[in-house]
Amino acid sequence: MEKELHQAAIKGSVPALLELLKQDPQILTQTSSESDTPLHIASILGHSAFANELLNRSPELAARLNLQGSTPLHLAAAKGCVEIVKSLVLVNPDLGLVWDRDGLTPLHLAVIKGRVRVVAEWARVRPEATRVLTQGGDTGFHLCVKHHRLEVLKVLVECNGKDDDFVNWRDSDGNTVLHVAVARKQLEVISYLLDNTKIEVNAQNSNGFTALDVLSHSTRDLRGSDIKESLQIAGAPTIINKAPSVMFDRDTVQVSTTMQPMMSKRRSLRQLVFKPKKKEVDWLGRKRNSLMIVASLIATVAFQAAINPPGGAWPSDYLKDANGNPVDKPHRAGQSVMADTEHRHYGQFMIFNTLAFLSSLSIILLLVSGLPIKRRRWMWVQMVIMWIAMTALTGTYFMGLIFITPEQHRRGYLYHVTGVSVFIWMSMMAIVFLGNVLRAIIYLLRKYGCMKQKPTDDSLYEDYDDL
C-alpha cells in the first residue's frame, strides 16, 4: 500500500488517496523515515490539492526530512509552488528557519532558483525569515548576486533595505554584497544597490579592501569603467592605495593580498616603467590551438584532392578495342584521368599533395601525443612543418590549375596573373621561413656565448642604480 500511496502522490490523485485512507487510516504514519514522504513528492510536483489533503489528515508530515535533510517546504520553494508554500507555512511557520544538509533554508533555495513569487509571499507573511543566514554566513543579498537574481534582490531590498546593518552584512570572508557584485561585475545590481539602499561604498572586507580596490585589479573592460564611475559618484575615492590580488571562484568570493614593499628604487622603476609580461604558457596555448585548426584544415583539403584529383576518374574500363585487341593506354573505372593524360604533372601533383597531407598530420600527431613539447623551440619546429605543409598545398593548387586549364588558354592574361600571384605567395613563404631560420640561428649563438646577449630589464635597472 505504501507503493500505491507514492503512485497516488506522483499523479496527485486525491480520490486515490482517500481510497487508501479508507483501507488503512494509519498509512500516512507508516512511511519509512528519511525517505521522501507523499508530501515531499506532491510538493516537488506541484500537486497543491493533494498536498492540502495530506496536511489536513497529517500535519506532522510538514516537518519530516528526507535523505537530503529537506522538508517539503524546501522542495516547494525550490520549484516555485506558491500555493503549497502558503499551506506549509500556515501549518508550521517555523519551517522557514530550517536548514537542509547544505546549510540552506527554503527561502535560500527560492532565492537561488529565482522564485520571485515565493520570495515575495514569504516577505509579506514572514519578513523575519528573509533575514536568516546560510550556515556559510551568506545573506539572501549575497545569494542573489552570486546566482544573478536581480528581481529577487529587489524584493529583498523592499523588505530589508531600510536596515543599514543587514544591507552591509559581511559574509565569512568579510565581503559585503557590494564587494561580491563588483567582483562579478554586475553593473545592474551595483546601480540598484547604490540607488536604493544605504550600502557603504567604502566598506572594507577582512583584508582591508573596498569595492573599488577589488575592481582595480580585475580585468579591465567597458563594464568595469562604468562600475568605477558609479562607485566614485557614490563616494568612493578617486585614488587607490592598495594593491590586492583578487581571486574569485564560482560560489565564493575570496579576496587575498600579496602586497610586498618596494625595497629599493630599482624595484620602484621595475614596477612603474615596465609592464608585467604575459605568461608564456598563454601565448604557446594560443599558438597550439591555431596550429591544430590550420593543420586539420590542410589535412582535409589534401585528402579530398588525393581521392578526387583534377579531371576526376574514368567512368568505365577501357582495356580492349572494338575488335578485342589490347589498347595502347588501357585504364580501369575509378582510376585518375590525370595520371593517364598528364603523367608528369600527375606525379608532381601527388608529390606536393602527399607532402602537405603528411606534414599536417605530423603537426596534429605532435599536438595530441602528450609529449612535453610546450617550449618555444618545439613551437618553432612545428611552425617549420606548417610552412612545409602550406608550401606543398600551394604547389598542389598550381599543378591542378595547370591541368584543368585548356592548352590554348595557358598563355592568356588571367593565367599569367595567377602564375604571378602564386610566385608572390611562394616568395612570402620563403621570407617567413628565412626569418625564422635567422631567429633560430641568433638564439643558438646567444645561448652558447657566440653573440652578445640582448639587453634585459635588469641591466637597465643597474644603469639606473649607477646614476
Give phi and psi for 326, each to the nearest 5. -60, 140
C-beta separation of 145 from 181 below 8 A: yes
- According to the CATH classification, is domain 1-132 in 1.10.10.10? no
Quick count: other Cβ atoms within 10 Å of Cβ 117? Answer: 13
Q: Which residues contact 292 (CB under 8 A, 6 or more apart)?
A: 363, 364, 367
The closest alpha carbon to 77, from 97, 61, 57, belongs to: 97
| 336, β-bridge pairs | 313
Question: Which amino acid, one-letter code, is at 3?
Answer: K
Quick count: other Cβ atoms within 10 Å of Cβ 111? Answer: 32
The secondary structure of 258-280 as a DSSP string is ------SHHHHHHHHHSPPPPPH
Give the distance, in angstroms, between the CA of residue 86 and the centroid of all CA atoms in the same chain: 39
Query: Cell digits for 45?
Result: 510536483
Burial class (CB in 10 A: 0-12, 13-18, 19+), 372: exposed
Give phi and psi for 303, each to the nearest 5. -65, -45
The pTM of the whole model exceeds 0.85: no
Report the alpha-carbon distance of residue 398 to residue 185 in Å, rounded.
53
Q: Where are the domains of the chain?
A: 1-132, 285-457
- Residue 105 confidence (pLDDT): 92
- Residue 454 confidence (pLDDT): 55
Tens-binned pLDDT, residue by residue, of the chain (467 aa): 778 888 888 998 899 988 888 888 888 877 665 578 899 999 999 999 999 999 988 888 898 888 888 999 999 999 999 999 999 988 988 888 899 999 999 999 999 999 999 999 888 888 888 889 999 889 999 999 999 999 999 999 988 767 778 888 998 888 999 999 998 889 899 999 998 888 899 888 888 888 888 888 777 777 888 888 888 888 877 655 554 444 444 444 443 333 333 333 334 433 433 344 444 444 556 777 777 888 898 889 888 888 888 877 777 777 777 677 777 777 777 788 787 777 787 888 888 889 889 988 888 888 787 666 556 667 777 877 888 888 888 888 877 877 777 766 666 666 677 777 777 877 887 887 788 778 778 877 877 777 665 544 444 334 434 43
C-beta separation of 457 from 274 below 8 A: yes
